[in-house]
């Protein structure tokens, strides 16, 4: 069997009730939520389990909720996961990957995400930005589309999610222009995204500066396994470089498709998504149809995974 990678979801995977079964069944997970709530200044368990969804979807709440869900799965899993050679996370999920890999402590990961979510929310409130998904527009066509739409304002590719699926991010008028002209550049669809702002674009520069202040004061450890980063789409273990890339991530495109391809080229055959939902599982499947994919969202999922690993 080939190598295994743990992958961690980002924003848009949240749902009311996420991780409640782990909380109800594990005293250790309850302690995690209590510690996270102390750091965050609000009851994370209440928001995660009871919502309402309108509140849980706000950046300042959803990012910590997804992070702690992923880390709750890991806490309940213990060391019963076999050999894992790579870790990667989509945007916010990179913080979960770094915590799994021993780069950040649980407390520092929660604190970093608290400040990241607040800074991103503030940047969203300060700028008229949004995002759109483009289906079937890649390579030179994408470059030309972005160049054409940039006449209306700031715009750049934000997420390379899977073959033929890219998100662009920027000022609202530029995104509207991109949607208007998308079919001229080969896109089959151009879909406005219901997001709070222009994530992974230059409009997040104020957030990048704030996140840099926070991360530069934190202890980063060298990673015990390779973390495949959003910014470079290759494995990294050096603590200083991982810190730099995490700061750059705020305004840089998420190279998820390229990250999956890198892991496959380096022998990964099994991808296990840790945390809420199956968004990344779907993206991996569209990128590498032969991949063996699993996800651990619930206690029942974890039970099946442990049975598989011990078989």
Query: Which residues have a catalytic role annotated?
Result: 91, 200
Tell which residue, 20, 257, 249, has the closest CA to residue 113: 249
> Sign of dihedral through CA atoms 25, 14, 230, 301?
positive
- From CA 25, how far away is CA 299, in angstroms rounded? 8
Query: Phi first, then psi: what are they for 192, rounded to 5°?
Result: -65, 135
Please count the other Cβ atoms lying within 10 Å of the Cβ belonging to residue 70.
Answer: 32
Q: Quick one: which of 50, 48, 51 has its CA closest to 37?
A: 48
Q: What is the dihedral of CA 33, 38, 44, 45, to 10 degrees?
A: 40
Half-sphere exposure for 68 (CA within 13 Å, toward CB): 37
Q: Are 227 and 98 in contact (CB under 8 A)?
A: yes
Buried b (16+ CB within 10 A) or exposed e, 199-212: bbbbbbebbbebbb
Q: What is the dihedral of CA 188, 193, 197, 198, to 10 degrees?
A: -20
| Beta carbons of 131 and 193 less than 8 angstroms apart | yes
């Amino acid at each position: 069997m080939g190598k295994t990678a743990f992958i961690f979801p980002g924003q848009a995977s949240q749902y009311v009730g996420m991780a409640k079964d782990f909380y109800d069944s594990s005293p250790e997970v309850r302690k995690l939520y209590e510690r996270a709530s102390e750091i965050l200044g609000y009851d994370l368990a209440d928001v995660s389990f009871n919502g309402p969804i309108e509140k849980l979807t706000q950046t300042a709440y959803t990012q910590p909720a997804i992070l702690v869900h992923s880390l709750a799965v890991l806490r309940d899993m213990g060391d019963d996961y076999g050999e894992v050679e790579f870790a990667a996370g989509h945007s916010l999920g990179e913080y979960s990957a770094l915590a799994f890999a021993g780069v950040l402590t649980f407390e520092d990961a929660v604190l970093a995400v608290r400040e990241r979510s607040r800074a991103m929310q503030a940047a969203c409130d300060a700028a008229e930005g949004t995002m759109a998904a483009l289906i079937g527009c890649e390579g030179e066509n994408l470059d030309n589309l972005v160049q054409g739409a940039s006449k209306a304002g700031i715009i750049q590719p934000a997420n390379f999610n899977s073959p033929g699926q890219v998100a662009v991010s920027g000022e609202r008028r530029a995104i509207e222009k991109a949607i208007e002209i998308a079919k001229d550049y080969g896109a089959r669809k151009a879909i406005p995204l219901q997001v709070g702002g222009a994530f992974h674009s230059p409009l997040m520069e104020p957030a990048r500066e704030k996140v840099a202040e926070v991360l530069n004061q934190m202890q980063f450890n060298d990673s015990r396994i390779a973390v495949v980063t959003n910014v470079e789409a290759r494995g990294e273990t050096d603590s200083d470089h991982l810190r730099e890339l995490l700061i750059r991530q705020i305004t840089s495109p998420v190279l998820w498709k390229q990250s999956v391809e890198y892991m496959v080229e380096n022998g990964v055959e099994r991808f296990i998504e840790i945390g809420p939902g199956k968004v990344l599982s779907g993206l991996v499947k569209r990128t590498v149809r032969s991949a063996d994919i699993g996800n651990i969202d619930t206690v029942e999922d974890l039970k099946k995974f442990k049975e598989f690993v011990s078989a």
